[in-house]
Amino acid sequence: MADPDDLAMYGDHEVVAGEAVGLDVRPASLIQRGASLIIDFLASGVVVIAALLALAYLSTEGGLDPAATAAMTIALLVTVLVIVPMIVEYATRGRSLGKLALGLRIVRDDGGAISFRHAFVRSLAGLIDIWLTFGGLAALMGLLTPRAKRLGDLMAGTHAQVERVPAPHTMTWGVPEALVEWSRLADVARLPDPLARRIAAFMVAAPSLTPDARRRQAGALADSVATFVSPIPNVEPELLLAAVSTLRREREAEALRLERQRLDALGPVLTARPHRFPER
């Protein structure tokens, strides 16, 4: 289990696993949690109103005993407001109708799936911070806590996590025409992986940068690239970065393709039976 003193290095927005490893996930905001809560609140309210109307009809038209009506009303409210949310959240591992619509999921503070205990505590606390206060206490707690936690989350040790993320936008670029001849002789094998990732991230974000910021970042990256790439052509920094990134991508892809070919060629030898080995 991670020592709390060792977790001070992580920010409130990070999820720290039991091995003190920070997970790069995004907690749900107060607005997202509020929208999810409204959907769940309306869905439960519709069910409660429909059931109460049915009970009122049975009480007046069916001659249902008043004591039985009161008992059934209490049982109905407990079932709809506590038992059903608890079962749904536990069965779906932290989902509900509102969370499914918003792409959220309730997880433990260490990022793991919730258990029956977490769902039970959250459902009981929901009577106070959601139903009795019409969500006011939940909104207040969400404003005061780092991960927009409500009272049930604080008691159960959980929080809401965003699982629905935008599809990644893939961009491909080739070697600039002015550097085609240079690319046949260039050596980019010594380029470190972190620097290569920084170049790729810059190439993706470059169209959204201001001209000054784009020129400044390209120059800084080109200076870092000059230590690991030879020869260095006399071109604009951004053209150099595009060529280096393309060469590294294409050469690594070719190396992987050749490795796969060698493994496929060894396949029959590795799976064949030894000479004269009988089939059984």
pLDDT at 2: 42
Note whether residue 278 is domain-resident. no
Domain count of the chain? 2
pLDDT at 55: 84
pLDDT at 277: 66
CB atoms within 10 A of CB 8: 8
pLDDT at 223: 92
pLDDT digits (tens, 9 = 90+) for 29-52: 899 999 999 999 899 889 889 988
pLDDT at 35: 92
User: By the 8 A CB rule, do 203 and 242 touch?
Assistant: yes
Note whether residue 63 is domain-resident. yes
Same domain for 137 and 30, yes or no, is: yes
Note whether residue 170 is domain-resident. no
Note whether residue 88 is domain-resident. yes
pLDDT at 179: 85
User: By the 8 A CB rule, do 149 and 142 touch?
Assistant: yes
pLDDT digits (tens, 9 = 90+) for 153-187: 999 999 999 987 766 666 667 788 888 888 888 88
Same domain for 84 and 205, yes or no, is: no
Same domain for 181 and 157, yes or no, is: no
Same domain for 94 and 199, yes or no, is: no
Q: Which of 128, 162, 196 is the last residue of a domain?
A: 162
Q: Which of 162, 190, 205 is the last residue of a domain?
A: 162
Note whether residue 61 is domain-resident. yes
Note whether residue 87 is domain-resident. yes
Same domain for 208 and 267, yes or no, is: yes
Same domain for 27 and 156, yes or no, is: yes
Same domain for 46 and 150, yes or no, is: yes
Taking 70 as the pLDDT cut, the residues of the chain under it are 1-24, 166-172, 275-280
pLDDT at 7: 40
- Exposure string for 52-83, b = 16+ CB within 10 A, e = fewer: eeebeeebeeeeeeeeebeebbeebeeebbbe
Contacts of 128 (CB under 8 A, 6+ apart): 137, 151
| Residues 122, 152: Cα–Cα separation, whole Å | 4
Identity of the amino acid at 15: V
pLDDT at 172: 66
pLDDT at 180: 85
CB atoms within 10 A of CB 32: 19
pLDDT at 167: 66
What is the rounded radius of gyration, in angstroms, for the C-alpha atoms of the chain? 30
Q: Which of 135, 162, 189 is the last residue of a domain?
A: 162
Residue 221 belongs to what domain range?
Answer: 177-271
Q: Is the dihedral of CA 179, 182, 184, 188 positive or negative?
A: negative
pLDDT at 23: 56
pLDDT at 65: 77
Same domain for 156 and 182, yes or no, is: no
pTM of the model: 0.56
Same domain for 101 and 216, yes or no, is: no
